[in-house]
Amino acid sequence: TPRRSSVIIVGAGISGLTAAKVLSENGVDDVVILEAADKIGGRIRKEEFGGVAAELGAGWIAGVGGKQSNPVWELALQAKLRTCFSDYSNARYNIYDHSGKIFPSGIAADSYKKAVDSAIQKLRSQEGNHNENTEDAAETPSTPKTPIELAIDFILHDFEMAEVEPISTYVDFGEREFLVADERGYEHLLYKMAENFLFTSEGKIMDSRLKLNTVVREVQHSRNGVLVTTEDGPLYEANYVILSVSIGVLQSDLISFSPPLPRWKMEAVRNLDVMVYTKIFLKFPYKFWPCEPEKEFFIYAHERRGYYTFWQHMENAYPGSNMLVVTLTNGESKRVEAQSDQDTLREAMGVLRNMFGPDIPDATDILVPRWWNNRFQRGSYSNYPIYANHQLVHDIKEPVGRIFFTGEHTSEKFSGYVHGGYLSGIDSSNALLEKMRRDDGRKNESQAFL
Ligand code: FAD
């Protein structure tokens, strides 16, 4: 029979590790952390590529410089993480057409304003529908058609939105964003945090309570406890479990529940959208793109929305790295994940030659993350509808008996961000501590009665 611990935490990303830290600070050390991957971090993950730390997942600390301090920024300062200030609002003035001409800033600014107005109009009409007051919703915003309109629509909706509706991250924590540019990776912040409650030696976690390469496949639960089955067979028993796996994983059949999760929970999980966001890294023998200030981000306007649209050079983060990053989302991400990296390289080079001419050198290496096909992720982050009803968020995070839920998708204000994961880890572990106290109280009462 398996040894019984107090709490099993499934997943060692920022939310799971934060939950473990809070439990430990409250005297609950009898915890087992089961992580499917070969290292901690989850969607904070770097890979060595072209001589630098390529951040396949989270790259920025978003929301800095406001009245309130972003807790992830605090962690980054503690971990002495190297970061550099990023401003992608300039991107709209660096829009290339298919013949390599940059759109005049006036045209770009006009198109941008039009897109923002149209998005605001669309929001209002959705709000109208949301309030079931359809009379206001008569006007339909114009749909983007030309390459520049499509490019700006993509930037606005797949990246920004801040000028259309207030985003809690910017309102609460400030509007600045910092790109993590540290050889140790964004994940170094997690190691520094883990040092506080797990045994580490020479920068490695040596604690037997952390089980890497351990894939949870089944959670049996009852009024008395939980029994977790892993892919290789070992069973883990505990009083409670905290599940930090992504919404994409919850939607998949990776983990089964016995008895099954109640209908309200399944429905909420099904109703939440998953966003796919892919950063493709390209290494070149030398650089052929402009590197002056305000040229870090640039855009390619194509007749297909989202086709290799958003580009960034890495010279600010890693001078001399000769690297570009292009970001794809959703349909384009899935399409590219399904094809060979050579095909993707060919497509990307086609776009770059349109922008910079036929004589530029081929990339010597390419890195294509596959978050959608990763069975421990199934996407990049949760995407709540703008008029999400509070019931949806509530149902997503509400515990089912002894099963607690955490992760960025359970954060009402900061879903989709690292700080969302961090704050949700604190929330969920506090809710569990509360439940433990109540259950203990009940047990003591019944013992006193006996
Ligand atoms: P995860 O980090 O996914 O942790 C869950 C863990 O559960 C994973 O380690 C996974 O391996 C594990 N797991 C899954 N299934 C099982 C199983 N069956 N058994 C055991 N373990 C399992 N946020 C920002 O703030 N700034 C950014 O710039 C940014 N950019 C991003 C770019 C990309 C490409 C992606 C993918 C995400 C980005 N994010 C960004 C979002 C941010 O990375 C996430 O919100 C955050 O890291 C999620 O943390 P989490 O703990 O909720 O989930």
pLDDT tens-digit readout, 258-314: 999 999 999 999 999 999 999 999 999 999 999 988 999 999 999 999 999 999 999
Per-residue DSSP letters for 19-40?
HHHHHHHTT---EEEE-SSSSS
pLDDT tens-digit readout, 35-92: 999 999 999 999 999 999 999 999 999 999 999 999 999 999 999 999 999 988 888 8
* DSSP type of residue 91: G
Interatomic CA distance for residues 379 and 238, integer angstroms: 29
Ligand 1 mean position, distance from CA 379 (Å): 9
Please check if 216 is assigned to a binding site. Answer: yes
For residue 56, give Cα distances in angstroms to 152, 260, 380, 450: 24, 34, 10, 57
Write out residues with Cβ below 6 Å of ligand 1: 10-16, 34-37, 42-44, 57-60, 62, 215-216, 244-246, 249, 254-255, 277, 279, 371, 376, 380-381, 407-408, 416-418, 420-421
pLDDT confidence of 158, banded at 50, 70, 90? confident
Please check if 36 is assigned to a binding site. Answer: yes
Letter for the amino acid at 81?
A: L
Measured from the CA of 217, which atom of ligand 1 is nearest? Answer: 18
Would the pTM count as exceeding 0.90? yes
Residue 195 pLDDT greater than 50, yes or no: yes
pLDDT tens-digit readout, 348-380: 999 999 999 999 999 999 999 999 999 999 999
Interatomic CA distance for residues 159 and 175, integer angstroms: 14
pLDDT confidence of 157, banded at 50, 70, 90? confident
Which contacts (CB < 8 Å, 24+ apart) does range 111-116 have? 111/148, 111/149, 111/152, 112/152, 112/156, 114/142, 114/149, 115/144, 115/149, 115/152, 115/153, 115/156, 116/156, 116/163, 116/164
Which is more confident, 449 or 365? 365
Any residues with CB less than 8 A from the CB of 52 and at least 6 apart, and which? 183, 314, 317, 318, 321, 323
Q: What is the b/e burial string over 140-171, where b = at least 16 CB atoms within 10 angstroms of the residue's CB?
A: ebeebeebbbbbbbbbbbbbbbeebeebebbe
Interatomic CA distance for residues 421 and 426, integer angstroms: 9
pLDDT tens-digit readout, 105-136: 888 888 888 888 888 888 888 777 766 554 55
- Atom 41, ligand 1: which residue's CA is nearest? 417
Residue 137 pLDDT greater than 50, yes or no: no
The pLDDT mean for the chain works out to: 93
Q: Helix, strand, coil proportions of the chain in percent (round to 5)?
A: 35, 25, 40
